[in-house]
Amino acid sequence: MYVPMGTLLEKANKENYAVMAINCFNLESAFATIKAAEELDSPIIIDLLMEHLEKHLGMETVLPAVIELAKKSSVQVAINLDHGKSKEYVKKAIEFGFSSVMMDASEKKFDENVEETKEIVKIAKNKNISVEAEVGGMGAVAGDNFTNAGMYTDPKEAISFINQTNVTALAISFGSSHGLMPKGYVPKFDFNIVKAVKNATGTPLVLHGGSGCGADNIKKAVEFGINKVNVGSDVMKAQSSAIYQQITQNPNEDFVEMVDKTIKPAKEMVKYYINIVGSKGKN
């Protein structure tokens, strides 16, 4: 069933759990993600990253196929444009059929972020499309550029932003980083940021960069008000590891078979996170 993201997050907010949002790079990862959700009777969000869509197959090609998977699913599926950096691209995504879009102007000045997001919210809500935004910034693992104190979201800014824009959900930075974490590294979360924003607004909040954050961190974040958890790198790593193992064991493996064998490890990783955030059986 293809639904707006707000439908999923409203229920998660009321019942104090989170919905997984999986960054999907191709149809196989989207298929695996939806199948994992079906096996656990969980709602799910497919995140399609603007950068991926621009560099590889465009939304005109990818989105209709993923929508078809969503419509045929036995669970509720939202498809979200992830990190839409361009206002024009986000508007295009709304017209092309995303059930949710992220207007990410977090790298701009606060007032610019507010104004661009307000404009997108006005357009999207007339079409029953959810809008996510972001205040603060997360570090990237590349070059050991982890989230530092200067990147953490200011709760007062986040509260003001929500009140001014009326976004469906807000991504906040409180310790996570995009990409894969080095082995053995577990980030330190500042849960007071989550508590402050949630208590003041009651709005669904989003954790980006969930890969490698640790089950305890994620569970506690959900407890304090996170309703959407983004994970991409861990699922993609599970798929790439499956390919590497096959090539190592049999360099002449048929490519179709090789890709097919990435479905199960991807599913298992998605199911692992669904169990952490508490959305099993919540469809």
The confidence score (pLDDT) of residue 252 equals 87
8 Å CB contact between 223 and 40: no
Confidence of residue 265 (pLDDT cuts 50, 70, 90): very high
* pLDDT given at position 144: 54
Structure confidence at residue 70 (pLDDT): 97
Average pLDDT in the chain: 89
Max distance between CA atoms of the chain, in angstroms, equals: 58
Q: What is the pTM of this model?
A: 0.91
Residue with tokens 């979360």: 189
| pLDDT above 60: residue 267 | yes
Give CA angle at 214 (234, 176), nearest 5°. 80
- Type of residue numbered 193: I
For 47, the token pair is 């995140």
Q: Which of 47, 82, 104, 234 is catalytic?
A: 82
Which pLDDT value is given to residue 183?
A: 58
Please say if 82 is a catalytic residue. Answer: yes
**Any idea which of 120-124, 166-170, 239-243 has the lowest mean pLDDT?**
239-243
Going by CATH, does the domain composed of 5-277 fall within 3.20.20.70? yes
Q: Where are the domains of the chain?
A: 5-277
Please, which pLDDT band fits residue 176 given cuts at 50, 70 and 90? low
pLDDT in tens, 88-144: 999 999 999 999 999 999 889 999 999 999 999 999 989 999 999 999 766 554 445
